[in-house]
Every structure is written in C-alpha cells, then in structure tokens.
C-alpha cells in the first residue's frame, strides 16, 4: 500500500552526495508538495571514523525533531575508519496529526525503494524522540539489550503501514481538539461532529444534499488529485434492498440515504479494503467534514453506519438502524445448570 508520493530529483542528487561524503552524519527528508525533498545535511560532531562517533552525534538530531511533525532521517553509522552503513529512520510522533501520520507511514517504503533498498543496512520506525536520541534505544535495536532480537524485525513493513492507517482512522472517529495538520488544512470542531478537515466541497454535492428527498440516495467522494469532496452519484426512489448496489465496491464513499417513509437520514461510510492508502487516508480523515456539510445543508443525520464492503449495507441492517426492535420479549436471567440427578 503506497501513497503515490515519489522521490524528487533534488533528493536523488542530495542522497548521492550524502552517500559519497563520509563526513555527513544525517540527511533529513520531508514531504513538500507531494514530493520527497531533502533538507540540509548534518555533519558528524566528531571524526566519523568509529562507531562511537555515531552516538556522540545523536544529540544534533534534536535540531530537526519536532514534537508533532513526522520526518525521515537517513543516517550514517561508522563501522571503522574506512567503512560505514546507512540507516533509514522514520520518525512519526505518536501525537502527530492524522493526515501527516498516515502520509509518512505509507510513503516510508517508497523512499527506501526509490533511493535503493540495497543501500540501507536497516530501517527504523520511531514514535518518540528518546528512540532516536537515546543511546540505549540504538543498543536495543542492535540486540545488545534485547537478547539478539531487533524490535524492528518483529513487525513487517505492511503491518506498520496498516497499523498507522488503523490508528489514524480511529482518531478520525473519536475526534480531537483543533490543531494544525501541516498538510492541506486544519482539524477543528464542527457542528457536534468532533474533528474535521477543512477540505473544499463541490457545489453540486451541496445542492444534491440540500435536495435529498424521501427514498433518495446521495453519494460523495474525495477527488484525490484536487483533494475536494465531490458528488459521486445521486438517485431517487431507492429501495432499502438495493442501496448496496448503488455504492462503489472499490472506492470509499460517503452515502446519505433518506429512509423511505421516515424522517431519518442515514449516513453510510464505506471504505473497501482494496482501496489505495491515499484514498483511505483522505476519506477517513474527512468523514466528519462530509457530515458537517450535510448538516449545514439542512439534513439531520440521525443514524451512522460504517462498513468495509458495500454488500454489508442490507435492507435488514438499514431497518434495524431506523426502526430498532423495542419488544425483546420477557427478559430472562442466566439459568444455572441443574446438578446431576435433580
């Protein structure tokens, strides 16, 4: 699963220079305008001729580490006076905003692959500054404090990327106070919906939501190139049993369904597992904006459903949401089993 972000020509040139200059300790890399871009390299604080020079140079990294901003650090670790190895470190602070967190996690493997996987002795994933600046953390990775097992070997690349997505999606559901997300907008409170992303919304989408009638189904999606919420489809007189047939099975959708014969509008968020990492990222972090837009157009979102596949949105599930059963019969307690012979 990749974000589609690639290495810039400037980064390629900077990395070539960094690789050939043994006096350079670190090449910081970030994402600027959908491209991986190098920052100014950091030289060794010492002679760069022994393993100890790596540890004495670590404090310099604090100049490029920020509490809520992800960054990639390409590091040189001296083996002896004539040789060294390279390490690709991804720093994604645990309290970083959702979108940068997901973006950097999903671009991590692209960075290493495009620069040349064979050029790196190892890759490292860190969420706290101490995991980068602390000498013990590096010794633990080397197996000196962990019985010979590197913690980076315990989780595969795709597992880490998927875990970052899952965490970000969970944060998008629960909401957080307003904060700068660093890439393309801000999170902030909105109409009781918690966190949202200030993403442009197409006028056609607003019009369709405003005109939603009994039995109508309006679907919105995020246009990836423009990062704009747009109208995907609008239908009238849709039977509950056929709602799933109108929803895409390959791309995420925000669907608003006015359940027939009621005043209930059901919000349905579907995110197929086969959709791209960037689709999942943008839709997961913008779902509250979609709800807020609908509320601003006069809709009262009384029910919400999430699903990974459109065929999970059945007539029975919609009926249960809109008209939950009220008569459960006589409540029965837990019956203790009879003893043998009774």
Q: Which range (26-40, 103-117, 167-181, 231-245) has the least confidence? A: 167-181
Please tell me the distance from the alpha carbon of residue 149 to that of residue 131, in angstroms, as a whole number: 16
Q: Which of 241, 254, 339, 261 is nearest to 293 (CA)?
A: 254
Q: Give the confidence band of 163 by pLDDT, cuts at 50, 70, 90.
A: low
| Domain-embedded: residue 331 | no
Q: Are residues 283 and 207 in the same domain?
A: yes
Q: Are residues 22 and 150 in the same domain?
A: yes
Q: Are residues 139 and 209 in the same domain?
A: no
Q: Are residues 209 and 158 in the same domain?
A: no
| Domain-embedded: residue 44 | yes
Range of the structural domain that residue 157 is part of: 6-166
Q: Which range (48-62, 115-129, 132-146) has the least confidence? A: 132-146
Helices (DSSP H) in the chain: which residue ranges? 9-20, 51-57, 98-115, 130-133, 135-141, 157-174, 203-210, 243-246, 277-296, 315-322
Q: Are residues 202 and 311 in the same domain?
A: yes
| Domain-embedded: residue 228 | yes
Q: pLDDT per residue over 177-203, tens digit each?
A: 333 222 233 333 333 333 344 588 999
Mark 195-224 as b/e (b = at least 16 C-beta within 10 Å): bbbebebbeebbebbeebeebbbbbbbbee
Residue 157 is predicted with a pLDDT of 52
Q: Are residues 145 and 253 in the same domain?
A: no
CA torsion angle 183 188 192 194 (round to 10)? 60
Q: What share of the chain is helix, strand, coil (3-state, %, to 5)?
A: 35, 25, 40
DSSP state letters, 164-188: HHHHHHHHHHH----EE-SSSSEE-
| Domain-embedded: residue 191 | no
Residue 326 is predicted with a pLDDT of 65
Provide the domain count of the chain.
2
DSSP state letters, 39-80: ---EE-SS-S-SHHHHHHHGGGGGGT-BTTB-EEEEEEEESS
The CATH number of whichever domain residue 36 belongs to comes to 3.40.20.10
Q: Are residues 159 and 208 in the same domain?
A: no
Q: Are residues 10 and 158 in the same domain?
A: yes
Q: Are residues 157 and 11 in the same domain?
A: yes
Please tell me the distance from the alpha carbon of residue 145 to that of residue 139, in angstroms, as a whole number: 6
Residue 171 is predicted with a pLDDT of 52
Q: What are the φ and ψ backbone dihedral angles of 220, each rounded to 5 degrees?
A: -115, 155
Residue 166 is predicted with a pLDDT of 58
- Are the C-beta atoms of residues 73 and 133 closer than 8 Å to each other? no
Please tell me the distance from the alpha carbon of residue 51 to that of residue 149, in angstroms, as a whole number: 20
| Domain-embedded: residue 131 | yes
Please work out, in degrees rounded to the nearest 5, the angle formed at the alpha carbon of residue 63 by the alpha carbons of 88 and 17. Answer: 45
| Domain-embedded: residue 127 | yes
Q: Are residues 245 and 99 in the same domain?
A: no
Residue 191 is predicted with a pLDDT of 34
- When the pLDDT of each residue in the chain is averaged and rounded to a whole number, the result is 80
Q: Are residues 108 and 211 in the same domain?
A: no
Q: Are residues 56 and 116 in the same domain?
A: yes
CB count within 10 Å of CB 234 equals 19
């Amino acid at each position: 699963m990749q974000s589609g972000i690639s290495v810039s020509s400037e980064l390629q040139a900077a990395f070539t220079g960094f690789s050939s200059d043994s006096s350079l300790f670190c090449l910081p890399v970030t994402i600027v305008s959908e491209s991986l871009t190098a920052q100014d390299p950091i030289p060794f604080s010492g002679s760069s001729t022994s393993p100890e020079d790596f540890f004495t140079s670590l404090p310099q990294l604090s100049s490029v580490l920020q509490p809520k901003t992800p960054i990639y650090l390409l590091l040189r670790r001296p083996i002896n006076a004539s040789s060294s190895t390279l390490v690709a470190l991804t720093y994604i602070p645990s309290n970083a905003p959702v979108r940068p967190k997901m973006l950097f996690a999903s671009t991590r493997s692209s960075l290493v692959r495009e620069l040349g996987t064979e050029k790196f002795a190892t890759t490292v994933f860190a969420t706290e500054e101490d995991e980068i600046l602390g000498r013990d953390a590096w010794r633990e990775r080397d197996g000196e404090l962990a019985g010979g097992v590197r913690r980076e070997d315990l989780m595969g690349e795709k597992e880490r990327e998927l875990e970052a997505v899952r965490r970000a999606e969970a944060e998008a559901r629960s909401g957080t106070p307003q904060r700068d997300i660093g890439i393309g907008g801000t999170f902030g409170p909105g109409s009781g919906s918690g966190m949202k992303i200030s993403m442009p919304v197409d006028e056609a989408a607003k019009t369709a939501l405003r005109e939603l009638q009994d039995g109508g189904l309006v679907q919105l999606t995020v246009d990836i190139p423009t990062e704009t919420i747009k109208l995907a489809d609008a239908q009238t007189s849709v039977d509950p049993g056929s709602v799933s047939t109108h929803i895409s099975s390959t791309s995420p959708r925000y669907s608003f369904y006015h359940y027939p014969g009621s005043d209930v509008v059901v919000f349905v968020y579907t995110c197929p597992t086969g959709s791209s990492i960037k689709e999942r990222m943008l839709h997961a972090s913008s779902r509250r904006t979609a709800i807020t837009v609908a509320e601003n157009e006069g809709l009262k979102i009384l029910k919400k459903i999430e699903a990974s596949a459109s065929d999970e949105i059945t007539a029975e599930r919609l009926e249960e949401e809109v008209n939950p059963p009220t008569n459960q019969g006589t409540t029965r307690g837990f019956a203790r089993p009879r003893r043998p012979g009774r």
